[in-house]
């Protein structure tokens, strides 16, 4: 099973949540095997004021996470696919080929931490609904993940992120007519078209690149890209990300 982990924030049942997920397995999810989802829900002792992991407890919770993984490997019960932290709880999620040894693995792991209250369970999930609907990022959440990776890279290069500069975007559409309607809409918002891309054997949709002076700071770029995603969808298209140059103070 491939290992490619992503950490991102979302809202679950009205509360902010931190989600860690192995997105690498999405390309190899089995279609015929019957899988069971297993979970351990742990009550944190010292969550921060947002109900997430605090610095005071981070090391201990990482140790518990490693212990659970060690016991799951020892019992060979399944694969760790993600965790959700929200409302003072942390939930570790596994996919199991069988669950008759899951209680033994859980008790072996959590027996080393008697101060922590927890609950655990398992249920059939052959369609991987927990993975797809709860753990895996939506297109919007995925865009925010990519935004923050670019922002982090810019910061490592000495960029303050607060200085406006030309930010170039791309979007693709099913027809040239829809693309033209999209262009009319973005030009009223101050964007300028840089290039038009024709359909080809690799990309059956027509595209364009366009730009505007904006700040690439985390909140600003999230707000901007989410707007462009929604605008692209409105015209039957798909937003395809952004890029910009480094600007140092």
For residues 39-56, average pLDDT = 95
pLDDT in tens, 120-172: 999 999 888 999 999 999 989 999 999 999 999 999 999 989 999 999 999 99
* Residue 81, burial from CB neighbour count under 10 angstroms (0-12, 13-18, 19+): buried
* Residue 133, burial from CB neighbour count under 10 angstroms (0-12, 13-18, 19+): exposed
Cα–Cα distances (Å) from 150 to 28, 71, 210, 222, in that order, read 27, 37, 18, 11
Q: Where in the chain is the domain with CATH 3.30.70.970?
A: 139-244
Whole-number pLDDT of residue 35: 83
Structure tokens given for 223: 């707000």
What is the distance between the alpha carbons of residues 38 and 120, in angstroms, rounded to a whole number? 8
Q: Flag whether pLDDT at 210 surpasses 80.
A: yes
* Residue 159, burial from CB neighbour count under 10 angstroms (0-12, 13-18, 19+): buried
Q: Strands 237-244 and 78-86: what pairing?
A: unpaired
* Residue 225, burial from CB neighbour count under 10 angstroms (0-12, 13-18, 19+): buried
Q: What CATH number belongs to 5-135?
A: 3.30.70
* Cβ-based neighbours of 20, under 8 Å, separated by 6 or more: 5, 6, 7, 82, 83, 84
User: CA torsion, points 185, 188, 194, 196, in degrees to nearest 10?
Assistant: 20
pLDDT in tens, 90-122: 999 999 988 899 999 999 999 999 999 999 999
Phi first, then psi: give them for residue 169, nearest 5 degrees. -120, 160
Enumerate the β-bridge partners of residue 83.
Answer: 20, 92
Higher pLDDT, residue 203 or 196: 196
Q: Flag whether pLDDT at 32 surpasses 90.
A: no
Q: How confident is the model at residue 75 (pLDDT cuts 50, 70, 90)?
A: very high
Q: Is 139-244 assigned to CATH 3.30.70.970?
A: yes
Instruction: Check: pTM over 0.75? Answer yes or no.
Output: yes
Q: What percent of the chain has pLDDT over 90?
A: 84
């Amino acid at each position: 099973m491939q290992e490619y982990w992503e950490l991102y924030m979302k809202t679950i049942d009205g509360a902010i949540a931190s989600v860690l997920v192995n997105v690498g397995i999405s390309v190899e999810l089995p279609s015929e095997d019957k899988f069971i989802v297993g979970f351990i829900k742990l009550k944190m002792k010292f969550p921060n004021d947002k109900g997430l992991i605090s610095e005071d407890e981070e090391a201990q919770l990482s140790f518990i996470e490693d212990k659970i993984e060690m016991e799951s490997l020892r019992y060979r019960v399944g694969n760790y696919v993600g965790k959700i932290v929200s409302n003072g709880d942390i939930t570790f999620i596994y996919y199991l080929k069988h669950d008759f040894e899951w209680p033994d693995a859980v008790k072996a792991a959590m027996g080393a931490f008697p101060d922590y209250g927890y609950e655990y369970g398992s249920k059939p999930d052959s369609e991987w609904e927990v993975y797809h609907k709860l753990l895996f990022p939506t297109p919007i959440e995925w865009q925010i993940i990519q935004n923050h990776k670019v922002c982090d890279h810019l910061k490592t290069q000495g960029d303050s992120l607060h200085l406006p500069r030309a930010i170039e975007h791309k979007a693709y559409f099913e027809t040239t007519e829809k693309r033209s309607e999209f262009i009319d809409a973005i030009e009223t918002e101050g964007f300028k078209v840089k290039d038009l891309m024709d359909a080809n054997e690799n990309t059956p949709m027509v595209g364009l690149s366009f730009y505007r002076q904006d700040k690439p700071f985390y909140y600003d770029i999230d707000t901007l890209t989410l707007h462009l995603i929604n605008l692209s969808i409105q015209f039957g298209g798909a937003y395809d990300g952004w890029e910009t140059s480094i600007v140092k103070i």
